[in-house]
């Protein structure tokens, strides 16, 4: 299932338990320079909030960050994103959809990710190949080996050092994406259109079963390759999730004495 030949040595698997000792941000944050971290999770996992927070923390610690979001992130990728979002193209085949995500990714790797790693910047990616396995693969129905074959062509050896999965059950996730926890007003009115994600219409159409499969796929991917995944319980509040994220990263990247 994994498309990635690895470019960094395997590190010990990590849980999201907080360490006994206080975190020492500068030491492990500096070790993130030149690394490639991917944030993943079902819609409504709250990963984007944590993503922004980590970006700020790293920059505050003097680590240069290259932030990328999928689909998109380049001029070509944004055009592909517009095609993926175009509701008049709802007859698009699943294979075509998968290859458009990969095409956007191929450009992103070439134009932004590889140069950033070479410059020893930290690459922070909001979604990458794992999303395609989860959405077009496990939930959509495309065989993993087909996705893997296309991923090999699209990204070659640009594999993440760590994929962080923000794990959330579909009930909590649906509550968040429907706006109860995301901008809904106390008067019960729906959130303004600008607070909704670009893909929210599609998410609504997909239903709980689809989201369950997405979640399960992420957990399966983590189980299959624990050294390159960190699973965080994202059903909790943002502060607890943040603490788990920091603890997990410190355990993974703190220099060994
Ligand atoms: P978007 O609102 O842009 O961002 P996010 O949910 O990450 O905050 O939604 C992106 C959507 O695209 C999301 O529903 C997952 C989906 N997706 C795929 O189906 N396959 C992929 O390969 C990627 C990268 C995303």
Distances from the Cα of 202 to the Cα of 135, 174, 212, angstroms? 12, 13, 15
What gap in Å lies between CA 13 and CA 225, rounded to an integer?
Answer: 9
Q: How far is the CA of 70 from the centre of ligand 1 (A)?
A: 7
Q: What average pLDDT does this structure show over 9-20? A: 39
- Cβ atoms within 10 Å of 225's Cβ, excluding its own: 16
Give the model's pLDDT for residue 215. Answer: 97
Give the model's pLDDT for residue 26. Answer: 58
What gap in Å lies between CA 7 and CA 11, rounded to an integer?
Answer: 12
Using the predicted structure, report yes or no on whether residue 148 has a pLDDT greater than 60. Answer: yes
Identify any residues that bridge with 230 across adjacent strands, giving them in sequence order.
164
Closest ligand 1 atom to residue 48 Cα is: 8
- pLDDT tens-digit series, residues 87-144: 999 999 999 999 999 999 999 999 999 999 999 999 999 999 999 999 999 999 999 9
Selected residue with higher pLDDT from 173 and 122: 122
- Please give the model's pTM, rounded to 2 decimal places: 0.86
3-class SS of residue 137: helix
Selected residue with higher pLDDT from 14 and 49: 49
Q: Is the peptide bond before 29 cis (omega within 30 degrees of 0)?
A: no
Give the model's pLDDT for residue 21. Answer: 38
3-class SS of residue 232: strand
- pLDDT tens-digit series, residues 223-241: 999 999 999 999 999 999 9
- pLDDT tens-digit series, residues 177-207: 876 544 443 333 333 333 345 566 665 567 8
Q: What is the radius of gyration, based on Cα positions, of the chain? A: 18
What gap in Å lies between CA 56 and CA 162, rounded to an integer?
Answer: 19
Q: How far is the CA of 172 from the centre of ligand 1 (A)?
A: 18
Continuous H helices in the chain: 25-30, 47-60, 75-85, 94-108, 114-118, 129-132, 144-155, 170-177, 200-224, 238-253
Picking from 80, 177, 96, 98, the residue whose alpha carbon sits closest to that of residue 135 is 98
What gap in Å lies between CA 105 and CA 126, rounded to an integer?
Answer: 12
Closest ligand 1 atom to residue 132 Cα is: 22
Over the chain, what is the mean pLDDT? 85
What gap in Å lies between CA 245 and CA 256, rounded to an integer?
Answer: 19
The finding on whether 192 has its CB within 6 A of some atom of ligand 1 is no
Return the ∠ at Cα 19 (arms to 18 and 25), rounded to 5°.
95
Give the model's pLDDT for residue 27. Answer: 83
Among the CATH numbers 3.40.50.300, 3.40.50.1260, 3.30.70.3400, 3.30.930.10, which is that of 25-253? 3.40.50.300
Give the model's pLDDT for residue 205. Answer: 67
What gap in Å lies between CA 182 and CA 7, rounded to an integer?
Answer: 38
How many helices, marked H, and strands, marked E, lie in the chain?
A: 10, 5
The finding on whether 199 has its CB within 6 A of some atom of ligand 1 is yes
What is the helix (H) or strand (E) element at residue 167, kind and residue range? strand 162-167
- Cβ atoms within 10 Å of 85's Cβ, excluding its own: 14
- pLDDT tens-digit series, residues 31-67: 999 999 999 999 999 999 999 999 999 999 999 999 9
Closest ligand 1 atom to residue 198 Cα is: 2
Using the predicted structure, report yes or no on whether residue 15 has a pLDDT greater than 50. Answer: no
């Amino acid at each position: 299932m994994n498309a990635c030949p690895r470019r960094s040595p395997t590190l010990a698997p990590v849980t999201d338990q907080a360490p006994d000792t206080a975190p020492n941000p500068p030491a492990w944050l500096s070790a993130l320079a030149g690394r490639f971290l991917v944030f993943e999770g079902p819609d409504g996992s709250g990963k984007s909030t944590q993503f922004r927070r980590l970006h700020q923390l790293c920059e505050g610690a003097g680590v240069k960050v290259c932030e990328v979001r999928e689909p998109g992130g380049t001029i070509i990728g944004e055009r592909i994103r517009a095609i993926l979002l175009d509701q008049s193209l709802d007859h698009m085949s699943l294979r075509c959809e998968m290859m458009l995500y990969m095409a956007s990714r191929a450009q992103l790797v070439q134009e932004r990710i590889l140069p950033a790693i070479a410059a020893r910047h930290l690459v922070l990616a909001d979604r990458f190949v794992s999303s395609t396995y989860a959405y077009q693969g496990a939930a959509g129905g495309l065989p993993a080996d087909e996705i893997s074959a296309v991923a090999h062509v699209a990204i070659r050896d640009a594999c993440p050092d760590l994929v962080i999965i923000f794990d959330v059950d579909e009930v909590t996730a649906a509550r968040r994406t429907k706006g109860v926890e995301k901008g809904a007003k106390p008067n019960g009115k729906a959130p303004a259109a600008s607070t909704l994600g670009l893909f929210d219409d599609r998410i609504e159409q997909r239903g709980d079963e689809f989201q369950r499969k997405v979640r399960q796929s992420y957990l399966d991917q983590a189980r299959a390759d624990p050294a390159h995944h960190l699973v965080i319980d994202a059903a909790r509040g943002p502060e607890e999730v943040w603490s788990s994220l920091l603890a997990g990263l410190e355990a993974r990247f703190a220099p060994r004495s």
